[in-house]
A and B are shown apart, each in its own frame.
Chain A
Amino acid sequence: RKEVEQDPGPFNVPEGATVAFNCTYSNSASQSFFWYRQDCRKEPKLLMSVYSSGNEDGRFTAQLNRASQYISLLIRDSKLSDSATYLCVVNEMDSSYKLIFGSGTRLLVRP
C-alpha cells in the first residue's frame, strides 16, 4: 500500500464548477498535512496547510479526518488558472521527519 494515495484523475470540469480531491495516508503517526499545487514542469507551490479543525482560504477548503486517515481539498467556483496537479503531502513525525508526497491529482478546468 502506498504511503499517500490520490486519485490521479484527470478531473475535467467546466469553469465555475466545484471539485473535490481526496487523499488517504497509511501512517497514523503523521502529524502535519499539506496541499501543494504543481504546474507542468514547475516546482510545487504550497497551497495550504491542513488543520484538524479544517481550514478555508478563499475558494479552497481543506479537511482532515484523522480517524479515517483521510484528507480532502474542495475547490469552489473553479477558474481556468486552477488547472494544475494537486499534491497531497504528509509529514511523518517519527525519526524520519520527511515529507511524503502523493503522486498528485490532475485538474483540467475548461472554458
Chain B
Amino acid sequence: EAGVTQSPTHLIKTRGQQATLRCSPISGHTSVYWYQQALGLGLQFLLWYDEGEERNRGNFPPRFSGRQFPNYSSELNVNALELEDSALYLCASTRGQPHYEQYFGPGTRLTVT
C-alpha cells in the first residue's frame, strides 16, 4: 500500500512570493491534516480537511490556506511568504475519524530567502 506522498520535496522561495505544496493521502483515507515544523520546534497543527471541507485550522494567519480535491488529495497555499515560514511542512492522512492514527508523508521543506 502506497503511503502519503508530498511534493515538492524542497521548495525555495523569496519573501513575498506564494508557495503551493501538495499532498496525496493513503488510498481510502479521506482526511488530510497539515502541520508546520520549524527547525528545532515541535509540530504545529495548521489545517484539517475532510470530505472536501475545511474542518478546523490552527493558530495561523489567513495567508495559510488550502483545499481538498474530490480525490482527497490536498493543496496548501502560503501567500506573502515571510522568512519565518521556512519550515518542514508535513501532511498526514487518516481514515476520516479523528481518533484514528495519522500517517505522515515525507514533508516539503520550504526555505524562504
For the residues of B in contact with A, the DSSP-based class is strand
CB neighbours (8 Å) of A44 from chain B are 43, 90, 104
Q: Is A20 an interface residue (CB 8 A)?
A: no
CB neighbours (8 Å) of B33 from chain A are 98-99
Docked Cα-Cα span, A87 to B45, in Å, equals: 14
Contact B102 A45 (CB under 8 A): no
Contact B56 A46 (CB under 8 A): no
Contact with A along B91-109 (1 / 0, CB 8 A): 0100000110111111100
Residues of A32-66 whose CB lies within 8 A of B? 32, 34, 41-46, 49
In the complex with contacts A98-B48, A98-B56, A103-B42, A93-B104 CB distance below 8 A: no
Q: Is B32 an interface residue (CB 8 A)?
A: no
Q: Is B28 an interface residue (CB 8 A)?
A: no
CB neighbours (8 Å) of A95 from chain B are 56
Contact B106 A42 (CB under 8 A): yes
User: How many A residues, CB 8 Å from partner?
Assistant: 23
Contact A93 B99 (CB under 8 A): yes
Q: Is A81 an interface residue (CB 8 A)?
A: no
Docked Cα-Cα span, A96 to B48, in Å, equals: 9
Docked Cα-Cα span, A33 to B55, in Å, equals: 21
Contact with B along A59-86 (1 / 0, CB 8 A): 0000000000000000000000000000
CB neighbours (8 Å) of B90 from chain A are 43-44
Contact B99 A101 (CB under 8 A): no
The chain A residue sitting closest to B43, CB to CB, is: A101
